Chains A and B, each alone.
Chain A
Amino acid sequence: GENVEQHPSTLSVQEGDSAVIKCTYSDSASNYFPWYKQELGKRPQLIIDIRSNVGEKKDQRIAVTLNKTAKHFSLHITETQPEDSAVYFCAATGTGFQKLVFGTGTRLLVSP
């Protein structure tokens, strides 16, 4: 089955810096890759997603890139703000019925 690895586990940046979180997946049939943001004690919220027919997607300060050959995808946050501090999870799922497999999460801390 699918296996998703996520790095780094923690990431500390200064406000205004960029942050990059990387995930690798094992199943070459996976075709949908969402990213979720989870604040302490709350539910995960979808922030951006990408499908395998697209190499990059942007939404304001957030972007996701996908390299199908290398089987990895990354989340890029520019001009980070303290409110970006949270745990970020990547996930992957293949064709057919959707069963998301999640990475282990990255705790992002943005210092003022």
Chain B
Amino acid sequence: DGGITQSPKYLFRKEGQNVTLSCEQNLNHDAMYWYRQDPGQGLRLIYYSQIVNDFQKGDIAEGYSVSREKKESFPLTVTSAQKNPTAFYLCASTWDGESGNTIYFGEGSWLTVV
């Protein structure tokens, strides 16, 4: 778990602004994920990436965008199109994304709209 670094830990967004959450891992994992967690709720998949330069939409991708230019990095941009972005965002990674491999989470980023 210690190999996944998310920043910032707390972020405030004004209406109409785009913000980017950083996720870096030094575990040499191929697969990376972004999940959103609302208070008292489970985790929902936003985007995932199986390899560099490739990513796919998850269940709630609208209003978000990602890139995967480097193996170790998978930043998430919350755009102004996301109308209710206040949530806890978790980045995760795993060895190659094949079923049964442990998924490890970063420490999370709290995003609040002000």
Contact = CB atoms under 8 A, between A and B. Distances in A.
Interface residues of A, number: 27
A42 B43 contact: no
A89 B44 CA distance: 12
A111 to B, nearest CB: 21
Chain A's interface: helix, strand, loop or mixed, by majority?
A: loop
A98 B94 contact: yes
Interface in B65-114: 90, 94, 97-108
A50 to B, nearest CB: 10
Interface in B31-45: 31, 33, 40-45
A3 to B, nearest CB: 11
B106 A43 contact: yes
Contact of A97 (B31, B59, B102, B107): B31
A97 B56 CA distance: 11
Contact of A104 (B42, B50, B103): B42
A93 B99 contact: yes
Contact of A99 (B58, B104, B108): B58
Interface in A70-108: 89, 93-105
Interface of B: 1, 31, 33, 40-45, 48, 50, 58-59, 90, 94, 97-108
Interface of A: 1, 6, 31-32, 34, 41-46, 49, 51, 89, 93-105
